[in-house]
Structure formats: C-alpha cells, structure tokens
Amino acid sequence: MSNLGKKWESDFKRDWKVTFENSLILRLYDTTNMYKGVQNPCDYITFVKGHLFLIECKETKGNTFSIGFRQKDELKEYIGIKNVHPGVILWFSEHQKVVWIPIETFLKLEEDGKKSFNVKMLNSNDYEYIDMPLNIKRTYVVVDYTKLLEYYNES
C-alpha cells in the first residue's frame, strides 16, 4: 500500500471521530504476515447509533478498484446481520471522490462478471454505493460520514 493509502487510513479515523463524536471506532491493525493464522476482516470496526460498520479503507489513484481484494471474503461473512454493515470506504484520489461501497456490491459485480469498480459507475444506478460529501483541502480531503447513518436509518 502506498504512503497515501496509509495516510488515508489515519485520516479516516480522524474524520470519523469528528463526524460522530460519541461513537466507537476500533482500529484492527494489519497482520500482513498472518502471524499464527490471524487475518483481520477489515481496518476498522465502528459503532454509532445502533449501527455496526466493518470498514476496509482503500485508496486508488486510477479509475478502477479491483474487486479481488483480500478482505472481501472475510467481510461477506457478516452480510445479513441486522444493523451490521460490512463494506469499503474507497477514495478515488485523482478524482477527489470518496464512496462507501457495501460488500454486497462487490459480490454483485463479481456475479456480473466484472473485475473492478470503476469511477464511471458513480454516475449509474446499476451498483449500490454512497457518495460521501468532501471538503477538499490542498493535499488531502476531509470527509463527512453522516450520509452512512442517514442511508441505513432509512432502510
């Protein structure tokens, strides 16, 4: 992962705490060597207003993000549990777009024979995602994650 990707993970935590002051955010550190077979399903576990989010943070410089990421199989185990939302916060850094992509979307992409989630998919209703409001700074973005809770409270 690039240095930008690592910074993105720490920026996510900062922005989440600002967005949801009285929420739980727990960082699960990467076990890149799978010490004793341990493999975390995601980067963060968060809990806010009755909703548990299992969040993998990803950054891509280009137009696409591969659906073959390692954590997908881990995260799909949590589909269907009430008020548990596994997914990816994806930053298309060159496009200055941040989206929440539920893990179900990656499974649908796979089912449809797709290899990646493309930034062009953000203009269609074919695949579920949530566009996050941004405040673009000179070298990074500040993200407001309230849309996540708005979306899942409407469901």
Tell me, what's the pLDDT at 1?
46
Task: Give yes or no for residue 5 having a pLDDT over 80.
Answer: no
Q: What is the pLDDT of residue 8?
A: 85
Instruction: Evaluate if residue 64 carries a pLDDT over 60.
Output: yes
Question: Is residue 70 predicted with pLDDT exceeding 60?
Answer: yes
- Structural domain range at position 140: 3-154
User: pLDDT tens digits for 92-138?
Assistant: 999 989 999 999 999 999 999 999 999 999 988 899 999 999 887 76
pLDDT for 135 = 82
d(CA 112, CA 92): 22
CATH number, domain containing residue 134: 3.40.1350.10
pLDDT tens digit sequence for 8-41:
888 899 999 999 999 999 999 876 655 556 678 9
Q: Note the pLDDT of residue 141.
A: 79
What is the number of structural domains in the chain? 1
